[in-house]
Structure formats: C-alpha cells, structure tokens
C-alpha cells in the first residue's frame, strides 16, 4: 500500500498521464521510502512499491524501507533493469531528468528493448521536489533539532572569537561544536569570512587573521535525521566600526520586514521584495545581489526559492531561510540568515541564536 508521501506522488502522476515513477536521486529515495543507503532505485506505481539495491545495502533496506518490496540488483544496470521494471506492468514511467545521466538513460532503454518490455521512459522535472516543499511534523521536528544545534555553534563562535584567530580556526570551532552536540556530518562547508573577504557571499575560510572591529560572516548548518538547518550570523570581535552598525541595522530591518510580512499564499517573489525594498530604500539595493532565501529540508537548497524571478508560492508547512545581505567590495559584508516555518498564516523562526 502506498504511504502518504507516495500517495501524493501517485496523484501527481495521474495529472501527468504517467502510471509509474522511477525515483533515482538520493534525497527523493529517502523521502519516499526511508532508505538512506547511497545506491538504489524506487519504482512507485498504484500496483507496487519496489526498491532495488545491491547486497551491500540489503539489510539496511529491509530495516529502513519496510513498506517496499526489495529487488536484488546484481551486475550492471543493463542486466537487471528490464526485469525490475517488468514487475510493475507500467506503460509510461516517469524519471527524474535532473538526476539521470544520458548514459544511464541509454542503458535503461537498451535493457527494456532487449527484454521486450514495452514500458516507455518519460522525462519529468522537479515533480518530487515540489512535493517535498511542505514539511510534515516529523520533518519539522528534525529541522528544529538541527536549528537548535546551529544556534549553539553560533553562540560558541561569538564567545570565543578573538583578534588574531584565523578564519579556518573559527570555522573548525563551529563545525566541532555542531558535531559534539549531535549533528550528523554537516551538509555544506562552514563559511567563515572576515573583513573584505566577507563581501563574497560564499567565501571559503582562509588563513587570514581576524582583526577587531571588522565583520565576520559565519554561515553554516547542522544536520539531524538527514534534515539540515542553515544559519548566518555576522559577528565582530571588539567594537564594530560605524559602517558595521549602520549596515547591520538595515539588514536586520530588512529581515524583520520579511518575517512580519510573509503570509500563507504570498508569492515567493513578493516575499523577496519585502526585504529588498528596505535595502533599496536605504540606498544599498545594488549591494544585495542574491535572493532572499530558499527552502531547507533533506537538501540545504531546495524549493521553494524566494527570489525576484521565482514562480513559487509560500504555503503552510514550508520551511525556508530568510537571509538578506549587503556586500560592499573592499570593506566586507553583512548577512543575517534564519530558518522560518510558515504555519497558521505567519512565520515562526526555528533558529534563535543571538543577533
Ligand atoms: Zn546559509
Ligand atoms: Zn541559505
């Protein structure tokens, strides 16, 4: 029997004139089946829920995906793919165009042809990703847990930062505290950028030594049950300069405008504008070059996307970041990022570290 998640996928398939779906990306595989191994394919149809994987993951698959019939994959994909698909009697099978390589698609087609299986492989885009946008209670609890761990790391960084410490040293302190407090391996490398380096939104930590008074952008996330948080704090050791104070207040007001103004059903582009308007009005519109935020969940960047050109709408249960910033080349940058849950027509922050 399909569970709630695959049930929703099956409804989508009806609308797309498909009678089965092949899930290949690791995040979607975990989302639908619970299986977190790094190799396997799901076949989802009204008649069957089948997971193919090889002997390395057999026991893990039995434990993690009890709702699925297991299919033992051995040798190359070409040898077993047709038999695997043949079990479901599917006429039009959707696959994830953003995940399957051309090489893999050719192999699958050859396998079906050779075995005389009439299933047609149909390319689809972001079908599963849209289903993952609204989170259920279990998912929200995981993200909350991850957010509470990244909060701890932010407070830790604030308490230990000293002039003369390198960016790499501070980044490692942040990562270490997250792991010590129960985070699974973090989903993305800790960003720690000081002084002029902080004008680069995605700077890599360097050996540069931190000076007092300058901005230090720290951007990182913890991971719990496969779900990630994503937090940015811009901190300073010693007394911040006047530029820091001025820009920090503008970015904070921009973030607050979005937190207060977002409601259920708002266009993601309109949500972006709430914050962007504040930065534009302060005269720094040209220095906020990225989008306001993005969904978080099994991936650190997933739908919905909150940006000027987004077609997404923000709905109940969605969890996304709100992260305005201002970046001045040569001086540095300020970014403040929090994780937000849209519920009961308003935003509640899941991250609570000092701002
Ligand atoms: Zn981030
Ligand atoms: Zn982010």
Do 194 and 163 contact (CB within 8 A), yes or no? Answer: no
Dist. CA 326 → ligand 2 center (Å)? 15
Quote the CA–CA distance of 21 and 13 in Å, as a whole number.
8
Dist. CA 186 → ligand 1 center (Å)? 12
Dist. CA 139 → ligand 1 center (Å)? 19
Q: Which of 90, 220, 89, 205 is nearest to 147 (CA)?
A: 220
What residues pair up with 326 in beta bridges, in sequence order? 334
**pLDDT (0 to 100) of residue 171:** 98
The string of pLDDT tens digits covering residues 25-42 is 999 999 999 999 999 999
Do 21 and 94 contact (CB within 8 A), yes or no? Answer: yes
The string of pLDDT tens digits covering residues 269-308 is 999 999 999 999 999 999 999 999 999 999 999 999 999 9
The string of pLDDT tens digits covering residues 151-206 is 999 999 999 999 999 999 999 999 999 999 999 998 899 999 999 999 998 899 99
Dist. CA 295 → ligand 2 center (Å)? 8
Task: Find the ligand nearest to 189 CA.
Answer: 1
Domains of the chain listed by start with CATH number: 4-131 (3.40.350.10), 137-349 (3.90.230.10)
Dist. CA 53 → ligand 2 center (Å)? 33
Contacts of 25 (CB under 8 A, 6+ apart): 96, 98, 99, 128
The string of pLDDT tens digits covering residues 84-106 is 999 998 999 999 999 999 999 99
Residue 2 clears pLDDT 60, i.e. is over it: no
Do 305 and 341 contact (CB within 8 A), yes or no? Answer: no
Task: Find the ligand nearest to 192 CA.
Answer: 1
Residue 1 clears pLDDT 60, i.e. is over it: no
Dist. CA 39 → ligand 1 center (Å)? 28
The whole-number average pLDDT for the span 10-32 is 94
Three-state secondary-structure class, residue 202: coil
The string of pLDDT tens digits covering residues 215-237 is 999 999 999 999 999 999 999 99
Do 339 and 321 contact (CB within 8 A), yes or no? Answer: yes
**pLDDT (0 to 100) of residue 3:** 67
Dist. CA 322 → ligand 1 center (Å)? 9
Dist. CA 231 → ligand 2 center (Å)? 7
Quote the CA–CA distance of 127 and 29 in Å, as a whole number.
13
């Amino acid at each position: 029997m399909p569970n709630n998640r695959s049930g929703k996928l099956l409804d989508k398939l009806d609308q797309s004139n498909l009678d089965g779906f092949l899930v290949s990306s690791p995040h979607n595989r975990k989302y639908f089946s619970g299986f977190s191994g790094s190799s396997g394919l799901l076949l989802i149809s009204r008649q069957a829920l089948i997971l193919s994987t090889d002997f390395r993951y057999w026991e893990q698959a039995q434990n993690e995906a009890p709702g699925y019939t297991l299919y033992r994959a051995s040798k190359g994909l070409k040898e077993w793919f047709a038999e695997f698909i043949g079990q479901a009697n599917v006429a039009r099978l959707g696959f994830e165009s953003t995940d399957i390589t051309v090489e893999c698609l050719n192999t699958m087609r050859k396998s079906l042809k050779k075995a005389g299986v009439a299933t047609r492989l149909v390319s689809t885009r972001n079908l599963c990703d849209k289903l993952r946008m609204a989170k259920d209670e279990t998912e929200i609890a995981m993200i909350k847990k991850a957010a509470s761990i990244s909060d701890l790391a932010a407070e830790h960084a604030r308490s230990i930062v000293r002039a003369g410490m390198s960016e790499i040293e501070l980044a490692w302190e942040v990562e270490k505290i997250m792991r010590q407090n129960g985070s699974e391996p973090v989903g993305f490398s800790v960003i720690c950028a000081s002084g002029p380096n902080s004008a680069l939104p995605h700077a890599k930590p360097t050996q540069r030594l931190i000076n007092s008074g300058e901005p230090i952008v720290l951007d990182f996330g913890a991971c719990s049950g496969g779900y990630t948080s994503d937090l940015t704090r811009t901190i300073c050791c010693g007394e911040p300069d006047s530029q820091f104070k001025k820009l920090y207040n503008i970015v904070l007001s921009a973030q607050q405008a979005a937190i207060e103004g977002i409601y259920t059903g708002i266009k993601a582009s309109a949500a972006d504008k709430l914050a962007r308007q504040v930065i534009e009005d302060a005269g720094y519109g040209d220095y906020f070059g990225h989008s306001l935020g993005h969904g978080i969940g099994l991936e650190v960047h997933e739908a919905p996307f909150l940006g000027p050109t987004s077609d997404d709408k923000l709905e109940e249960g969605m969890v996304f970041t709100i992260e305005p910033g201002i970046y001045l080349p040569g001086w540095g940058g300020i970014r403040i990022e929090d994780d937000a849950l849209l519920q009961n027509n308003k935003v509640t922050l899941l991250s609570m570290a000092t701002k």
